[in-house]
């Protein structure tokens, strides 16, 4: 074979175009036999009993379901050994297992390779020949390489073509909003900008005029959507739509479109390239919140395309009153508000991120959402589906036993939701009377209000990057003031912790000089970057202080510090900004100053810095990544990331002890604060203030009110004696269960 990688690409691409999973897998085995000139190709899949079930074959007789018992046969040998087995005369091998009525005795060679997904052998790929010859090295390399790609496909397939292919068809995605629901599918079909073929235009002036008309039409469409949401669902949800008005009105987006038009591109092609440019910018970021903003760009691009086609404001029509699950590539706000609130029970998106705008919307509505399930084929309107937002999964055509279990789960969830609603404006106070402050994380004007709605005591982390990233130039001081004033006004009288710009590395600003770095996570980012761009930091500090307008509850968080000189320089700039504004006749209240503890090197330096700081905030996501040398977004090592790793919790204990020794107010922000086991651990270690996603506030408040300090401290002490995260989590589940908190019903 001259180029097996080219052949591999051809096979996988052809498979992706087929209509069903069974057709995909059958096409693959047939294509492999042709590609390497072999007589038989068979794919086995491990089932719940660890038996190997034949999924598809080209060459073997398949008169009845073929199942090889656990660890038996050469297939079992491949699975156990976890490497390729290549031999002749398989019937003479000690591990041979005869499969009746398969006609396999006609084949005198065997080469099997494991299909490995997330570190587990989920199946085996086998090729066989009538000739008694070993598979050649190049052919063996081909199937070994192909097995890595096949593992992704096989992991999502049903176990056989019989009953299992008709019932309980599971598709995995990402949890966008927790909860479970059962309803009838309503497909939402929309035109996608990225499917539009590239084109050029003869008259750029005409295209520019069309762009202005289109922009005006879409702006009007977005305003109509916002007004409809406000009328039907209230102002807090309507504010989620504001992000599209901001993106559309921002001159940076328009300038980029116009620059492409001037090169001779057609209007839709220019828009497509612009959307892709900003979408890719967000996708490249490691921060999950910022990464998810690419979904907003894609949505805006599709909205522009649909209005251009004249298909705006045309939500699907619904008949009857049965519970409805909206499923499609892009679910729009119009689609959501076209249904009575009591009829819409869940949302499923083929694409999208767990923190995308539709996920935010679903959380605010209190319905489950599953994002990024991939392009599902053979869906039918009216088909029954279970949406499990707790684990990010949907189950199509569920069997009666599965339906029964999920209905019981839904009843339990309803009881919990009703209980959570009663706690919204009650304090997060343990059963023995200790108050835990719960703050919300935010980064968009649109998601400021959900935190208040869910009873947040303040903003524990406001990310300031987005206004900088959706532009072709730095936002002015006045531009920034407008953003910060919105947050400060909404949380008037409550503490707000606002993080200075954390860009560089994986979050570059395209209009500033960002160098290519071999390891950006350890490079020029956070205050390292802003201190090298003093004018940028000075403008932001002035904007924050001016927007505060003398309020005493504003806190400035400094990210990614690692040296004393960095801290001293930041404090000097804050004092300079206060002095400048005072001289300009502006009312000033010096903000409280604190640091994000993300770099482990900062921990021993706290004993030297405590007099310079008003507070500290543990950034659990980055601190855990740096301590574990693990990128949680890397699919190869992400499974190693766990904030309950003993190394992490022992360092947290050290930080908390130092803060206590020096009477330094401490908080923790990050996903750790929304983990039921972790919140119990943190309370047991002495943390009394955490900041988390606003959608998780009610659940964590409920858990806290069910805990006691005594039980939490006892768990923490036991956890500190364990050497792995799995054991700590198991102990945590058991402890929560003893306290009457059913972990199966509160997973989010």
Is the pLDDT assigned to residue 341 strictly greater than 80? no
User: Within this chain, do residues 390 and 448 fall inside the same structural domain, yes or no?
Assistant: no
User: Within this chain, do residues 577 and 692 fall inside the same structural domain, yes or no?
Assistant: yes
Q: What is the pLDDT of residue 164?
A: 43
* Helix runs in 156-250, H state only: 204-233, 235-238, 242-249
Strands of 118-162 (E only): list them: 120-129
User: Within this chain, do residues 294 and 197 fall inside the same structural domain, yes or no?
Assistant: yes
φ/ψ of 702, rounded to 5, equals -60, -45
User: Within this chain, do residues 154 and 173 fall inside the same structural domain, yes or no?
Assistant: no
Q: Measuring CA to CA, which residue among 746, 721, 719 is closest to residue 731?
A: 719
CATH number, domain containing residue 185? 3.50.30.10
Tens digits of per-residue pLDDT, 493-548?
Answer: 899 999 998 876 555 665 565 566 666 667 677 788 888 878 889 999 999 999 99
Is the pLDDT assigned to residue 574 strictly greater than 90? yes
CATH number, domain containing residue 207? 1.10.274.10
Tokens of 92: 């003479």
For residue 218, the Cα-to-chain-centroid distance in whole angstroms is: 28
**Domain ranges, residue 40:** 4-165
594 and 602 Cβ atoms separated by less than 8 Å: no
Is the pLDDT assigned to residue 229 strictly greater than 80? no
Instruction: Judge whether 111 lies within some domain.
Output: yes
Tens digits of per-residue pLDDT, 15-43?
Answer: 655 556 667 778 888 888 888 889 999 99
User: Within this chain, do residues 179 and 156 fall inside the same structural domain, yes or no?
Assistant: no
User: Among residues 410, 439, 466, which one ends one of the domains?
Assistant: 410
Domain count, the chain: 4
Q: What is the pLDDT of residue 160?
A: 46
pTM, 2 dp: 0.61
Q: What is the pLDDT of residue 111?
A: 95
- In angstroms, the first-to-last Cα distance of the chain is 49
Instruction: Judge whether 26 lies within some domain.
Output: yes
Higher-confidence residue of 12 and 448: namely: 448
556 vs 305, 404, 593, 623, CA distance in Å? 41, 51, 5, 19
What's the pLDDT band for 615 if we cut at 50, 70, 90? very high
Across 297-311, 602-616, 693-707, the highest mean pLDDT is recorded for 602-616
What gap in Å lies between CA 42 and CA 58, rounded to an integer?
6
User: Among residues 280, 308, 336, which one ends one of the domains?
Assistant: 308
CATH number, domain containing residue 728? 3.20.20.60
Q: What is the pLDDT of residue 663?
A: 95
User: Within this chain, do residues 353 and 434 fall inside the same structural domain, yes or no?
Assistant: no
Instruction: Judge whether 415 lies within some domain.
Output: no
Is the pLDDT assigned to residue 401 strictly greater than 80? no
User: Within this chain, do residues 496 and 591 fall inside the same structural domain, yes or no?
Assistant: yes
Is the pLDDT assigned to residue 639 strictly greater than 60? yes
User: Among residues 290, 308, 326, which one ends one of the domains?
Assistant: 308
Mean pLDDT within 234-254: 68
Is the pLDDT assigned to residue 625 strictly greater than 90? no
168 and 357 Cβ atoms separated by less than 8 Å: no
Instruction: Judge whether 649 lies within some domain.
Output: yes
Instruction: Judge whether 639 lies within some domain.
Output: yes
Residue showing tokens 């968009």: 444
User: Within this chain, do residues 453 and 566 fall inside the same structural domain, yes or no?
Assistant: yes
User: Within this chain, do residues 552 and 590 fall inside the same structural domain, yes or no?
Assistant: yes
User: Within this chain, do residues 373 and 439 fall inside the same structural domain, yes or no?
Assistant: no
User: Within this chain, do residues 150 and 201 fall inside the same structural domain, yes or no?
Assistant: no
What's the pLDDT band for 392 if we cut at 50, 70, 90? confident
DSSP 136: P
Tens digits of per-residue pLDDT, 677-692?
Answer: 999 999 999 999 999 8
Instruction: Judge whether 211 lies within some domain.
Output: yes
Instruction: Judge whether 416 lies within some domain.
Output: no
Dump the DSSP string for 229-262: HHHHH-HHHHGGGHHHHHHHH-HHHHHHHHHHHT
Q: What is the pLDDT of residue 235?
A: 58
What gap in Å lies between CA 46 and CA 68, rounded to an integer?
9
Close Cβ partners of 526 (under 8 Å, ≥ 6 residues apart): 502, 504, 558, 559, 560, 561, 598
What gap in Å lies between CA 188 and CA 299, rounded to an integer?
14
CATH number, domain containing residue 161? 3.30.450.40
114 vs 55, 106, 412, CA distance in Å? 14, 23, 41
Mean pLDDT within 235-245: 63
Q: What is the pLDDT of residue 131?
A: 92
Host H or E run for residue 84: none
What's the pLDDT band for 579 if we cut at 50, 70, 90? very high
Tens digits of per-residue pLDDT, 462-507?
Answer: 988 766 765 656 788 888 898 898 889 989 989 999 999 887 655 5
Instruction: Judge whether 151 lies within some domain.
Output: yes
User: Within this chain, do residues 116 and 144 fall inside the same structural domain, yes or no?
Assistant: yes
Tens digits of per-residue pLDDT, 154-203?
Answer: 776 655 444 444 667 778 888 888 788 899 988 887 777 777 888 888 88
Q: What is the pLDDT of residue 16?
A: 56
φ/ψ of 532, rounded to 5, equals -85, -5
């Amino acid at each position: 074979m001259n180029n097996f990688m080219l052949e591999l690409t051809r096979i996988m691409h052809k498979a992706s175009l087929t209509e069903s999973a069974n057709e995909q897998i059958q096409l693959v085995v047939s294509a492999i036999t042709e590609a390497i000139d072999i007589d038989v190709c068979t794919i086995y899949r491990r089932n719940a009993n660890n038996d190997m079930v034949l999924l598809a074959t080209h060459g073997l007789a398949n008169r009845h379901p073929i199942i090889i018992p656990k660890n038996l046969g050469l297939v079992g040998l491949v699975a156990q050994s976890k490497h390729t087995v290549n031999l002749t005369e398989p019937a003479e091998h000690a591990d041979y297992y005869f499969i009746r009525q398969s006609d396999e005795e006609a084949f005198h060679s065997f080469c099997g390779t494991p299909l490995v997904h997330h570190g587990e052998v989920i199946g085996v790929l086998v090729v066989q020949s009538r000739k008694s010859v070993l598979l050649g090295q190049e052919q063996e390399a081909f199937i070994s390489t192909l097995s890595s790609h096949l593992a992704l496909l096989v992991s999502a397939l049903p176990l056989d073509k019989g009953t299992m292919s008709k019932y309980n068809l599971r598709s995995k995605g990402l949890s966008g909003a927790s909860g479970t629901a059962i309803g009838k599918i309503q497909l939402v079909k929309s035109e996608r900008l990225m499917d539009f073929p590239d084109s050029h235009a003869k008259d750029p002036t005409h295209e520019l005029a069309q762009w202005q008309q289109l922009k005006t039409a879409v702006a009007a469409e977005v305003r109509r959507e916002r007004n409809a949401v406000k009328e039907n669902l209230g102002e807090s949800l309507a504010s989620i739509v504001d992000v599209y008005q901001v993106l559309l009105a921002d001159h940076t987006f328009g300038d980029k479109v116009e620059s492409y038009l001037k090169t001779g591109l057609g209007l839709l092609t220019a828009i497509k390239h612009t959307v892709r440019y900003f979408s890719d910018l967000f996708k490249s970021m490691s921060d999950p919140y910022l990464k998810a903003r690419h979904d907003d760009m894609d949505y805006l691009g599709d909205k522009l395309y649909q209005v251009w086609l004249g298909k705006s404001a045309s939500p699907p029509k619904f008949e009857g009153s049965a519970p409805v699950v909206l499923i499609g590539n892009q679910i729009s706000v119009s689609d959501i508000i076209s249904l009575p609130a009591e009829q819409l029970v869940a949302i499923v998106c083929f694409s999208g991120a767990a923190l995308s705008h539709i996920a935010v919307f679903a959380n605010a509505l209190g319905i489950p959402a599953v994002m990024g399930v991939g392009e599902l084929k053979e869906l039918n309107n009216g088909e029954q589906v279970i949406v499990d937002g707790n684990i990010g999964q949907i189950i199509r055509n569920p069997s009666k036993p599965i339906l029964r279990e999920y209905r019981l789960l839904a009843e339990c969830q309803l009881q919990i939701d009703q209980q959570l609603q009663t706690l919204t404006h009650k304090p997060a106070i343990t059963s023995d009377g200790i108050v835990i402050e719960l703050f919300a994380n935010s980064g968009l004007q649109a998601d400021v209000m959900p935190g208040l709605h869910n009873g947040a005591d303040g903003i524990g982390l406001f990310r300031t990057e987005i206004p900088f990233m959706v532009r072709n130039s730095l936002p002015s001081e006045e531009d920034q003031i407008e953003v910060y004033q919105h947050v400060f006004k909404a949380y008037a009288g409550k503490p707000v912790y606002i993080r200075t710009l954390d860009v560089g590395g994986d979050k570059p600003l395209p209009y500033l000089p960002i160098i290519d770095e071999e390891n950006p996570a350890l490079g020029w980012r956070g205050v390292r970057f802003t201190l090298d761009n003093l004018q940028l930091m000075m403008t932001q500090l002035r904007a924050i202080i001016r927007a505060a307008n003398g309020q005493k509850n504003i806190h400035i968080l400094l990210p990614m510090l690692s040296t004393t000189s960095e801290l001293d320089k930041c404090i000097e700039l804050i004092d300079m900004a206060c002095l400048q504004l005072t001289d300009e006749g502006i009312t000033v209240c010096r903000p409280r100053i604190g640091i994000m503890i993300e770099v482990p090197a900062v921990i021993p330096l706290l004993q030297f810095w405590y007099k310079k700081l008003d507070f500290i905030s543990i950034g659990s996501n980055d601190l855990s990544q740096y301590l574990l040398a693990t990128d949680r977004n890397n699919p190869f090592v992400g499974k190693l990331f766990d904030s309950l790793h003993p190394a992490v919790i022992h360092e947290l204990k050290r930080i908390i002890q130092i803060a206590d020794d020096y009477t330094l107010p401490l908080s923790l922000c990050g996903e750790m604060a929304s983990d039921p086991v972790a919140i119990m651990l943190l309370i047991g270690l002495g943390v009394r203030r955490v900041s988390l996603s606003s959608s998780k506030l009610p659940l964590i408040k409920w858990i806290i009110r069910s805990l006691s300090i005594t039980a939490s401290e006892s768990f923490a002490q036991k956890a500190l004696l364990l050497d792995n995260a799995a054991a700590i989590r198991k102990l945590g589940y058991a402890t929560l269960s003893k306290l009457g908190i059913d972990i199966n019903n509160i997973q989010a």
